[in-house]
Amino acid sequence: MAPSFLKEIRRRSKSSFRTDRSTDSSSGSGTTNDSSPATKSSSTLSSINGGTTPPSTAPVLTSLTLASNIQKLNKTPPLTPGRPTAPAAAVNRQSVSGMSGLGSPSPMSTLPCSPYAPRILSISDNTWVYQKLLSIYGTIADPATQALEGNLTVSRLDDGFPPTYWPVSDSHFKALIYLTPGPNRLRFDFTSTKLANSNSSNPLHSSYLTIHMLPPQCSPPLQLVILVAKDSPGTFDAVPARIEKEGNGLETAIRKFRMAAYLWQAFTAEQMYRNKLGRRVFRMEEEWVTGTSNLRDIETGTMRSEAKIHVVRCEKTVAEIRDLDIAQQYSSANRKGELFNIATEAVKNYFKSLPGQKQYVSVLILDAHWDKQAQTITGHAALGGGGGDLQLAICGSHALQSYPSCIEEVVPAFSDCTPTNTNHVANDCNESGSNWEAANIGIGAHLHETGHLFGCPHSESGIMLRDYVTLNRSFTTREPYSTRTRSKGGVVLPKDECSWHRLDCLRFRGHPCFALPTDAPRSNDDCVQVWPVDGGNLVLTAPSGLAFMEIYTPGDDVCHYWQEFGDGNGNGPIQKQFILTEQDLRLRVPEDRRKSKLRLSIKSITGGTHEVEDFGLLASKTSRLKLPNGQTAYRSSKVGLSQMNGSHPQEFVFNSAIHQTKLLTQVKVYHGFAVDGIEFIYEDSTSQLFGRRGGQPGGSDFFLDTRRGEYITGFYVRSGFWVDGIAIMTSLGRKSATFGNASGGSGHTLIPPRGYSIAGVTGSCADWVDGFGILLTR
């Protein structure tokens, strides 16, 4: 019978007998799973050094060894059978790729950074942005001492987007980065034939950056539309070689238009940042489709959330659209803007927006074509603007062949010097003599019209002047030969780029399409009012806050002088009231114009506007009147244009403001689709009528609670060319219904500035009220 200690040994697993040096040569089939970790590590390190591993020999299980194991069994608990843990020395083999000279350090590495690692100057680590395509700028080493040429590779650490490659010129680089929601961990590698280790698969000259992208959902989107005729073949102008290479059908048009819109976003966000207004930018509606922003997605069919391009068919034929060429549009007033009207109707029929649901739509007219014989572009118009519930921009597709269709094509598109073949495509305004210049004109001119859509007028410089002929400079570091300027080009830096004018950026800051998730709740009242007060000054008020004021002198077709309120960057305290003195105002214009007539356009933070046609007249004695009780009253600026046929001025001081015994008890508003008149009725049944008694019989009544001392403190007016609707506001915080057309025109809140009260009303009336203001006094 076997000794009792041998029975105990049999109950133990075989692995209990092994030491760190042993191998079990007697186990089953002898698979590789039976090799110890120590043996594996030794073999791996040996192969790295180029040597061979000596065969391992199993130790002999002697009686001494057996006795030693029996002694251990009596002192230690049973071990759970399983794969032994690898010794610590085996982990070190993972660090081989990080050894000096053999590869790039990881983001967590403590190795010193290469002096040639890319330096990103336009954005810092862990910044939050709000658009899909980010434009960056940076340098390699010190451009002042070294002019390096090479390539920059931008890659995501998660491989969620394929690497992109960007040229480095004179140590400067620009790149576009495709971002996805959340953290985007990026790696930048610089390679150059003049630097060591640049030709390896894992170069040393690397840097890392994390960008967080938060897609805004708190703002109305910019809708992108391709407009086609009802019988359109769905093609755009292109030379035969292009058609053979990439096609000129609707799918290609969608990819190119989408990429152009991404460039608009990247350019605008960077411009807003340079103007210290944050990285705010308009958003676009998106859809889940096969990705088109890079070539790999197209080849593999990878799905992504991309900007949605709506294809809208209008009721016109190709022949009817082509007949509306530029010469016809602008040679006769009755045909001017016909394409804009066609696009407006088609877009409204397509989106079927609800009343009050404002749409912002940028349209590419696919059936614009170059007519070689007539030497004109038919079916094309570049217009932007709109009103009511639709803001619209339109532009033709005659330069579409030159657009990039994905990120990899951006630099080639803006570097393509292929001459424009006017047998097939247009040389627009003789400024598109080569493909890269045509891309500037097409993408830039459409962005210009989209600027009009967002409320930007023409400006003294920038995109809204026509500086988009250098749009390429925002995405490349070297400009090729230009047929427009007959110059050979060269390195272009941020200071050489085109821009949005400062005033455009200030408009964007308050535009609803540029709202960010971090913004404070938006005020519903965007109005601005101007009040003459004591001392020949004006008081500017805006419930949402004052943004900036444009100053025009005689002959100015664009704004050259302006004043910003607060710190100008939207970061300081909001100013809701500002006292404007004539001396301060005139010091903002050149000395030779300080005595001239000054026209003002004051903007609120939420985009409202108030126009003062003549500052001097509004601040003069003509805006004052003496009340019978000796007080001085001031006429506010009016809403409504007072330009209807038969319009005549009307004005009176409230009887209750002169005689304390008079008590105003009721207001009756006469209205239909507009305000016909307003009657103020007193306790003794006397009344004062502003305007006329028209509209619906009897009008609409609003009663004041005189027992609680309620009185009128202001009016809310809907107006445009005339006064569409009006509501009464009181000292008890009450506000009447808006009598008349409650959705007509735009809203204006007439509440006197602090320290003043309403003494009467002023304005004008024709068939109905076409101008309205208030008289105020201390």
Residues marked as catalytic: 449
Residue 529, amino acid = Q
Angle between helices 435-453 and 250-274 (to 10 degrees): 70
* Residue 613 structure tokens: 């046609």
* CB of 597 closer than 8 Å to CB of 616: yes
Backbone angles phi and psi of 102, in degrees to 5: -110, -5
**Contact status, residue 294 vs residue 159, Cβ threshold 8 Å:** no
**CA 616 – CA 599 distance, rounded (Å):** 9
Q: CA-to-CA distance for 226 and 311, rounded, in angstroms?
A: 5
Is the separation of the CB atoms in 424 and 240 below 8 Å? yes
Give the integer Cα–Cα distance in Å for 283 and 222: 6
What whole-number distance in Å separates Cα of residue 318 and Cα of residue 495? 44
In the block, residue with structure tokens 């082509």: 322
Long-range pairs for 660-667 at CB < 8 Å and ≥24 separation?
662/686, 663/706, 664/704, 664/711, 664/712, 665/703, 665/704, 665/706, 666/701, 666/702, 666/703, 666/704, 667/701, 667/702, 667/704, 667/712, 667/728, 667/736
SS3 432: coil
- Residue 155, strand partner residues: 187
Long-range residue pairs from 591-594, CB within 8 A, at least 24 positions apart, any chain: 593/553
Is 624 strand, coil or helix?
Answer: strand
Distance in angstroms (rounded) separating the CA atoms of residues 667 and 11: 104
Q: How far apart are alpha carbons 214 and 130 in whole angstroms?
A: 5
DSSP 3-state percent helix, strand, coil across the chain (nearest 5):
25, 30, 45
**In 8-20, which positions are buried (b, 16+ CB within 10 angstroms) versus exposed (e)?**
eeeeeeeeeebee
Please name the residues in contact with 55: beta carbons below 8 A apart, sequence gap of 6 or more: none
Token pair belonging to 306:
């991309």
How far apart are alpha carbons 669 and 687 in whole angstroms? 13
Within 10 A of 339 (CB to CB), how many other CB atoms are there? 28
Cα 574 to chain centroid, rounded:
23
Q: Which residue is it, tokens 């390539």?
A: 151
For residues 459-489, b (16+ Cβ closer than 10 Å) or e, as one string?
beebbbebbbbbbbbbbbbbbbebbbeeeeb
For β-strands 599-604 and 609-612, DSSP reports them as antiparallel
Query: Cβ(327)–Cβ(317) under 8 Å?
Result: no
Q: CA–CA distance from 638 to each of 623, 626, 671, 726, 762 (Å)?
A: 12, 19, 19, 14, 8
CA angle (46 as vertex; 41, 47 as ends), nearest 5:
105
